[in-house]
A and B are shown apart, each in its own frame.
Chain A
Amino acid sequence: MSGFDVNKIRQDFPMLSNGIKMQGHPLVWLDNASTTLKPQCVLDAVSSYYTHRTSNSHRGDYDLCAEMDREVEKTREIAAKLIGAEPREIVFTSGDTDSLNLVAECFAKEVLKEGDEILLTEAEHASNVLPWYRLQKECGALIRFIPLSKGGRVTIDNVRASISNKTKIIALAEVTNVLGYLLPTKEIAALAHEVGAYFVVDGAQSVPHKRIDVKELDIDFLAFSGHKMCGPTGIGFLYGKYDLLKRMDPYRLGGGMNVKFDVCGTASFLEPPARFEAGTQNLEGILGLKAAIEYVSSVGFENIEKREKELKQYAVNALKKTGAVTIYNEDSEAGIVTFNVDGVFAQDAATYFNSKGIAVRSGQHCAKILNDFLSTVATIRASFYFYTTEEEIDALVEAVKTCKGEYLNAYFI
């Protein structure tokens, strides 16, 4: 891969270059679907807010404030460019969950009428299920689940079979967080629009890993979390088509989003995106997000996709060779391997891996209705990013080999 040197890249990440240990072993970070490590440039950007740039945005007549305004708008431009949107279509939020709640509360709630249908799948994360459950109660709308294929994939045929004139919202993760299957996004958007439905995409697991163009895909809304793409926690954005954002009432009211208000109780609000950004924004987070997007873009999405594909294949092959695991998503696109060590409860295996310094996620991964589909109560998820190495996967594979015989040793030795 041209210009891609994983060892050089790893030097950019203090959690990798500082010799961090867990349980006396060098840290093996395989929980990237949960959150990613942060490069030094992101840390520097965050701390620069406190060391060089402290000020509020929109709220002062001095240079520092004007510079902060410029940084915020520059970040909005960079975020828009990342996904092929216009800057005015990017609303800063605390992350993916906040973004999905914003769409549900301020858009869908207005649009949905009794008897309308919301289409989800059983593979969705809690953040793309629970806000819709609430609407089901509040608006009398009905949630229906698009059946997954035998392996766990959302197919265009199954979407076609589920969609009808009653469908008003289709809300799906572009890449699912447990199995890592990629949606036929563009085709679903076209089907949705044919029946007058809106397509809400949870981009938490896709935007950090692949090139995405919301205009080409014709997505109506896209939710994103910065921390899953080397950014700080607590910052993300919602993309919405501008005419849709304009139809939405604000979520939170306060400073920075109003035009004027008077003693009679009347108030008028700014146009989007400012309408949805009440109060002082997460300015350190916005600076960090800008650095993260610039950093990841400089690594290159072609490189990232190619690298993750290699790592996924390597992990699947090596894990299969142990003969000790059941893998649930061998053919999914993302750098996520979901498995169980045969005969060992997922959490017990994860604790054993922890005792070897390996961080993986176990349990239901916030997708609590998927496990019925998989016919298991819990799974282990190892997830990779461009800085993951084959050696780290080897460490996991070695631990898998001894897991069944030794897992309780985690508590004693």
Chain B
Amino acid sequence: MPISFELTPEMMREIIMDHYSSPRHKEDPKVEGCLSIHSSSVNCIDDINVYLKLDDNGKVTYASWNGVACAISTSSSDILCDLLIGKTKEEAEYLIKQFNSMIHEEAYDDSVLEEALAFKNTSKQAARIHCATIGWDAVRDLLKEEK
């Protein structure tokens, strides 16, 4: 029988704090031939670059980000990179679409979001929604350009 459980506020907090205090993918690209995109915000200080490497089959083999970012944008961009690695372009686009739907309180498929579910309640702080989506929107635009 599948076990279903809700993330508690404590768990969400822990996930976000963990990726904020020790981000895994906050680095300039470590591999050659990355695609990159810059994104900044007028509402927050966030000013980041995201780097992606796709293989010949369109699968993400490397993802990183770097720049100045608040707790929410740091952790959300870092979790994004975690989730992107190993995904095809189509899977990545699907993932980003689900994340955006969740952030904007629309119906979404929670089965693909994993740790990104920690941002479920970001809409409580309307002024900061863009902090949670800045990296995700950047990758969405990057993949669109690649088509």
Residue interface bits B33-73, CB-to-A below 8 A is 1, else 0? 00000000000110000000000000000000000101110
Bound complex: CA A355 to CA B131 (Å) = 16
Chain A residue contacts of B122, Cβ below 8 A:
411
User: Does the CB pair B127–A354 fall under 8 Å?
Assistant: yes
User: Does the CB pair A408–B44 fall under 8 Å?
Assistant: no
User: Does the CB pair A354–B125 fall under 8 Å?
Assistant: yes
The answer to the question of A364 belonging to the interface, with a C-beta cut-off of 8 Å to chain B, is yes
The answer to the question of B2 belonging to the interface, with a C-beta cut-off of 8 Å to chain A, is no
Interface size, chain A (Cβ < 8 Å):
19
Question: Size range of the interface on B?
Answer: 10 to 19
The answer to the question of A303 belonging to the interface, with a C-beta cut-off of 8 Å to chain B, is no
User: Does the CB pair B45–A378 fall under 8 Å?
Assistant: yes
Report the minimal beta-carbon distance from A1 to chain B, rounded to whole angstroms: 36
User: Does the CB pair B45–A364 fall under 8 Å?
Assistant: yes
Report the minimal beta-carbon distance from A345 to chain B, rounded to whole angstroms: 5
Contact of A347 among B12, B13, B17, B128 (CB under 8 A): B128
Residue of B71, B119, B131 most packed against chain A (CB within 10 A) = B71
Report the minimal beta-carbon distance from A348 to chain B, rounded to whole angstroms: 5
With A363-B45, A412-B13: A348-B125 Cβ-Cβ less than 8 Å: no
User: Does the CB pair B124–A411 fall under 8 Å?
Assistant: yes
Identify whether the interface residues of B are mostly helix, strand, loop, or mixed: helix
Contact of A408 among B13, B45, B127, B131 (CB under 8 A): B13
The answer to the question of B84 belonging to the interface, with a C-beta cut-off of 8 Å to chain A, is no
Chain B residue contacts of A195, Cβ below 8 A:
none
Chain A residue contacts of B131, Cβ below 8 A:
347
User: Does the CB pair A408–B17 fall under 8 Å?
Assistant: yes
The answer to the question of A346 belonging to the interface, with a C-beta cut-off of 8 Å to chain B, is yes
Contact of A355 among B16, B71, B125 (CB under 8 A): B125
User: Does the CB pair B128–A351 fall under 8 Å?
Assistant: yes
Task: Count A-B pairs with CB separation below 8 Å.
Answer: 52
Report the minimal beta-carbon distance from B46 to chain A, rounded to whole angstroms: 8
User: Does the CB pair A351–B12 fall under 8 Å?
Assistant: no
Chain B residue contacts of A377, Cβ below 8 A:
45, 68
Bound complex: CA A334 to CA B124 (Å) = 33
User: Does the CB pair B13–A351 fall under 8 Å?
Assistant: no
Report the minimal beta-carbon distance from A156 to chain B, rounded to whole angstroms: 34
Bound complex: CA A409 to CA B8 (Å) = 12
Report the minimal beta-carbon distance from B120 to chain A, rounded to whole angstroms: 9
Give the nearest-CB partner of B131 in chain A: A347
User: Does the CB pair A409–B13 fall under 8 Å?
Assistant: yes
Q: Which of A309-365 contact B (CB under 8 A)?
A: 345-348, 351, 354-355, 363-364
Bound complex: CA A363 to CA B44 (Å) = 6
Report the minimal beta-carbon distance from B127 to chain A, rounded to whole angstroms: 7
Chain A residue contacts of B71, Cβ below 8 A:
345, 348, 407-408
Query: Apart from A347-B70, A408-B13, what are 7 other A-B pairs with CB-CB below 8 Å?
Result: A23-B124, A346-B45, A348-B72, A355-B124, A407-B71, A409-B9, A411-B125
Residues of B within 8 A of A (CB): 9, 12-13, 16-17, 44-45, 68, 70-72, 119, 121-122, 124-125, 127-128, 131
Name 29 A/B residue pairs within 8 A (Cβ), A-sorted: A23-B124, A345-B45, A345-B70, A347-B44, A347-B131, A348-B71, A351-B125, A351-B127, A354-B125, A354-B127, A355-B125, A364-B45, A377-B45, A377-B68, A408-B13, A408-B16, A408-B17, A409-B9, A410-B124, A410-B125, A411-B12, A411-B119, A411-B121, A411-B122, A411-B125, A412-B9, A412-B12, A412-B13, A412-B121
